[in-house]
Amino acid sequence: MRIRDNKGFTLIELLIVVAIIGIIAAIAVPGLLSARRSGNEASAIGSLRAITSSQQAYASTCALGFYAEQLPTLAVAPAAGGAPFISPDLGVAVAVDKSGYTVTMDGATDGANPVNPLATCNGFAQGDVTSSWYATAEPVSPGATGTRYFWVGTLGTIFADTIAVPSTDGMDPAPGGAPIQ
């Protein structure tokens, strides 16, 4: 009579291993999603800081103290040569989806266009510059890609709130939220 060689796992052993893996996944996934949301929010804040820096450079070197009204204006290099004022990932459209957030920029309603026609160093005219601007970063999927909404204005202070920015008409008073910098 031969003795049977038992190699392998029993069904009970496999079920125990699968249950343990399920428990570990249930504990780890919420932490992973939270880390991803935090990363997306940090990217949104970084994008608004980049826009603020680009606007300051544009106003001081190219537009005689005025600011660009739209992101694509900042993506155009000066006619005399040099680099564009903003990175290509932010300057491709009026509204850009980046790292789970939609980033937009526009001239504020309390801003004024220059009275005299002027040409900026990158070829834009009077209607393309303003004395006041704002930019927002809103989660593409609120709660999943981010939980906070961000906005920044001409003064460069970034604000955050857990609800959508109700209005960006004008810069005073701030449309809501608390400053983060």
Burial of 177 (0-12, 13-18, 19+ CB in 10 A): middle
What does each of the 181 residues of the chain score in pLDDT, given as a tens digit? 566 666 788 899 999 999 999 999 999 988 899 999 999 999 999 999 999 999 999 999 988 888 998 999 999 999 888 899 999 999 999 999 999 999 999 887 766 666 655 678 888 776 678 888 899 999 999 999 999 999 998 889 999 999 887 766 555 555 678 888 6
Could you tell me if 126 and 92 are in contact, meaning their C-beta atoms sit under 8 angstroms apart?
no
47 C-beta neighbours (distance < 10 Å), count:
25
Q: Are 152 and 159 in contact (CB under 8 A)?
A: yes
Say how far apart CA 62 and CA 120 lie, in whole Å.
6
In a 3-state reduction of DSSP, which class is residue 101? strand
Specify the pLDDT at position 144. 92
Dihedral class, residue 82 (left if φ above 0, else alpha if ψ from -120 to 50, else beta): left
Cα separation, 111 vs 170, in Å, equals 7
